[in-house]
Amino acid sequence: MRPLPARTVRIGRAADNDLVVDDLSVSRLHAELRALPDGTYEIADLGSHNGTFLNGRPVTRARIDDGDVVGVGHSAFCLVGDQLQEYVDTGEVSLDVQDLGVAVDKGRRTLLDRVSFPVGQKCLLAVVGPSGAGKSTLLNALTGQRPADRGTVLYDGRDLYRDYAELRHRIGLVPQDDILHAQLTVRRALVHAAELRFPQDTAKAERTARVDEVIRELGLEQRAGQSIHSLSGGQRKRVSVALELLTKPSLLFLDEPTSGLDPGMDRSVMHMLRGLADDGRTVVVVTHSVLSLDVCDRLLVLAPGGKVAYYGPPQEALAFFGHQEWPEAFEAFERDRDRDWAGTYRDSPQHRRYTVDASAQPRLPRTGDGPDPAVMARPPTPQSWGSQLGTLVRRYTAVLGADRTFLAIMVALPFVMGAMARALAGSTLTRETAMNALLILCVGAVLTGAANAVRELVKERVIYQRERAVGLSRSAYLMSKVVVLGTVTVLQAVVLTLVALLGVDLNAPGGKGVLLPPLAEITAAVALLAFTAMMLGLLVSALVRKEEVTMPLLVLLAIVQVVFCGALLKLDGVPGIGQLSWLVPSRWALGAMAGTVELARLVPGDLTADPLFRHSTGVWLRNMGMLVVLSVLFGYVVARLLRRHEPEVMRK
């Protein structure tokens, strides 16, 4: 307890604050507690990056009543009379789950059915059960990724859903798939993660010190300079855990951390989790493996339908089910689907001993009516948009730079396609060569742009989902892809065009283009087409569910561009087909290039009489403008598609 003076009390990480909070999630100048003339107090946020919270809700400025709780980083301050009582989240927290229920298909199918259990401090809890028992659904409900339809999750007595905006920084989640860029080294991946997760005013030395501390804690000193893709499965899982430990979460959730590992690695990972729990964290691990359940404090067994079949010490579980081995117990779940597993457990002494009697946990004081627990406030972002964009651009550039195969393809592709176009163009564009040369430029630009982007979002989906949950800006993430891939794509397009046409007599009317020299106009059209194709590739990548289907779609994309560009079929005046071609970027790019060289003059005929091929300032600008419009349209659709893969609270 500390008495409050009749003045302003400044709270923050910097040493010159009145109330210093030694926590990297707290800004240097975080908030002010101000005494009002009537003897009451108000809290004012000072532009902190992780926010200031009053009773779990983010506030900019708000009056504090007696018993209210102010949250700053991992600390909470309760106003009691004229004194401020501090609660520091040291990691030793309890979790109390009460009657969680989740249903889908308009309530016709139940995924979780009245799931209740307590998790004590420094506890390692394993969640097991047959496929379809609701383990992943439970994990999503406990982490706030997909809140339960009914029931309550209490984090040391505080409603997790109501106070999610504040408490989310104290929750770490390691998905089944690695949330790392495998091309980076261990240290570099953690450094970039620290830049995104810590406040913008955190000094580089502070971030580096925290990264080094986590590396030592997980025994990764010898692997810090090693590329993640070269690590063993168990070591990669350690790095994923290290990433989550950067912000010192009190609750750590892991989804199938031993999946695909041999028994030795399985044991090693589980012992690592045992050590993390002993160090003062509550650890919940969802697993199919039953090899190392003995290292856990508690075991939760879910039966089909999301029912609690057992909760208690793992040593008593098999005897409770009346089996000698776990395979026999799992077979019983599948064989006796009509059996009331939950009712059997509720009537057992284990239920009273380990669930009912153990649920009485100390609660953090709180008064006042809170919002509906089902309404979760959207958390603030720890970084400004520009800062996030800068970090993402640097990280993505490093990832691409470390992928030598991708670099080789990026360098070779424009030269190969340019050489093909050069062979067709010859020394002068003529009736025989003009259309084919421009068509190859279109195909080369489309393949270059789309191939760069078509895998980039789907392969990072798990990474994006996790980073979005901790405050990543959707638009900053998308813009980082656009900036890096766009720069690479435009450079490739310039190389492609110069290899194909530099020194070639383009045979433009009077030796001039519409507005610029012919080579400059064609280069601009090819570059803009490649950029638009890159945006279309991002759209495909955001749309698909599996990375394997992107290559067939890339081929289909190229074929559509060829068919609807206007080089093979007459599109003008054809009902339906003509309007559909407006959505095809190569249609407008070919029109711009054809207008530059006045293709109708070089290759007379119905095909080249297309209005988009005119040598006219207005037509050329419209063609180029439509490529810009399509790029923006594709970008908007990508942003909407990205939203589908985000935690529900981040979609608001």
Is residue 366's pLDDT more than 70? no
Q: Say what the pLDDT of residue 650 is.
A: 64
Average pLDDT, the chain: 87
For residue 174, list its beta bridge partners.
Answer: 254
pLDDT of 218 strictly over 50: yes
Q: State residue 466's pLDDT score.
A: 87
Which band of pLDDT confidence, cut at 50, 70 and 90, is reported for residue 5?
A: low
What number is the average pLDDT over the span 440-464? 93
What is d(CA 36, CA 9) in angstroms, rounded to the nearest whole number? Answer: 12
Residue 422: count of CB within 10 angstroms of its CB: 19
Task: Please state, in angstroms and rounded to a whole number, the distance separating the CA atoms of residues 541 and 492.
Answer: 20
Position 313 scores a pLDDT of: 94
pLDDT at residue 364 in the model:
42
Which has more pLDDT, 425 or 203? 203
Q: What is the pLDDT of residue 372?
A: 47
Length of the chain: 652
Report the C-alpha gap between 112 and 307 in whole angstroms: 6
What pLDDT is recorded for position 590? 93
Residue 307 sits at φ, ψ, to 5 deg, of: -105, 145
Q: Which pLDDT does position 381 carry in this prediction?
A: 66
Which helix (H) or strand (E) segment holds residue 637: the answer is helix 617-643
Sheet of 171-174, strand order:
171-174, 251-255, 282-286, 124-128, 298-303, 307-312
Judge whether residue 528 has pLDDT over 80: yes
Q: What's the mean pLDDT in 198-221?
A: 91
Looking at residue 375, its pLDDT comes to 53
Question: Which position has the higher pLDDT, 555 or 337?
Answer: 555
Q: For 77, phi and psi rounded to 5 degrees?
A: -120, 120
Report pLDDT for 382.
63
pLDDT the model gives residue 378: 59
Determine the pLDDT at residue 32.
Answer: 92
79 or 456, greater pLDDT: 456
The identity of residue 272, as a single letter, is M
Write down the pLDDT at residue 485: 96
Segment among 447-461, 525-539, 562-576 with least mean pLDDT: 562-576
Question: pLDDT at position 409, please?
Answer: 86
With 80 as the cut, is the pLDDT of residue 222 above it?
yes
Question: Which two tokens mark 509?
Answer: 């009317």
| Helix H or strand E encompassing 53 | strand 52-54
Q: Tell me, what's the pLDDT at 125?
A: 95
Determine the Cα–Cα distance for residues 493 and 488; give it in Å rounded to an integer: 9
Distance separating alpha carbons of residues 188 and 326, to the nearest angstrom: 41
Mean pLDDT of 469-491: 93
Whole-angstrom Cα distance, residue 513 to residue 508? 6
Q: Which long-range contacts (CB under 8 A, 24 or more apart) does 108-115 make?
A: 110/305, 110/306, 111/137, 111/306, 112/137, 112/138, 112/141, 112/148, 112/306, 113/305, 113/306, 113/307, 113/342, 114/151, 114/307, 114/308, 114/342, 115/151, 115/302, 115/306, 115/307, 115/308
Regarding beta strands 298-303 and 124-128, do their DSSP bridges make them parallel or antiparallel, or are they unpaired?
parallel
Q: What is the pTM of this model?
A: 0.85
335: exposed, middle or buried (Cβ count in 10 Å: 0-12, 13-18, 19+) = exposed
pLDDT at 1 over 60: no
H or E segment at 486?
helix 474-501
- Taking 50 as the threshold, does the pLDDT of residue 367 lie above it? no
Q: What is the pLDDT of residue 6?
A: 53
For residue 373, the model assigns a pLDDT of 41
CA distance 610 to 570: 8
The torsion angle over the Cα atoms of residues 398, 402, 408 and 409, rounded to 10 degrees, is -70
**489: confidence class by pLDDT, cuts 50, 70, 90:** very high
Task: Pull the structure tokens for residue 201.
Answer: 């005013």
pLDDT of residue 254 exceeding 90: yes
Closest C-alpha among 125, 111, 97, 114 to residue 286:
125
Assess whether pLDDT exceeds 90 at residue 538: yes
Nearest to 351 by CA among 396, 309, 295: 309
Is the pLDDT reported for residue 369 higher than 50? no
Write out pLDDT tens, residues 557-602. 989 988 888 888 777 777 778 788 889 999 999 999 999 988 888 8
Please write the tens of the pLDDT for every residue from 631-652.
999 999 999 999 887 776 665 5
Strand order in the sheet with 41-45: 19-20, 9-12, 31-35, 41-45, 61-64
Which pLDDT score, from 0 to 100, does residue 379 have?
60
**614, HSE (Cβ side, Cα atoms, 13 Å):** 9
Q: Can you give the pLDDT at residue 425?
A: 77
Residue 527 has pLDDT above 70, yes or no: yes
- Contact of 607 with 583, CB cutoff 8 Å: no
Q: Which of these ranges, 90-94, 184-188, 358-362, has the smallest mean pLDDT?
A: 358-362
Distance CA(259)–CA(287), nearest Å, equals 8
Reported as a single tens digit per residue, the pLDDT across 406-451 is 888 888 989 998 888 888 877 788 777 888 889 999 999 999 999 9
Give the pLDDT of residue 648: 67
Q: For residue 370, is pLDDT > 50?
A: no
Which of these, 641, 642, 649, 639, lies nearest to 171 by C-alpha position?
A: 649
Per-residue pLDDT at 386 exceeds 60: yes
Q: What residues does 340 pair with on adjacent strands?
A: none
- How far apart (Å, rounded) are the C-alpha atoms in residues 298 and 313? 5
Give the other-Cβ count within 10 Å of 467's Cβ. Answer: 20
User: Which pLDDT value is given to residue 178?
Assistant: 80
126-182 pLDDT, tens digit each = 999 888 888 989 999 998 888 898 899 998 888 888 888 888 888 999 988 888 888
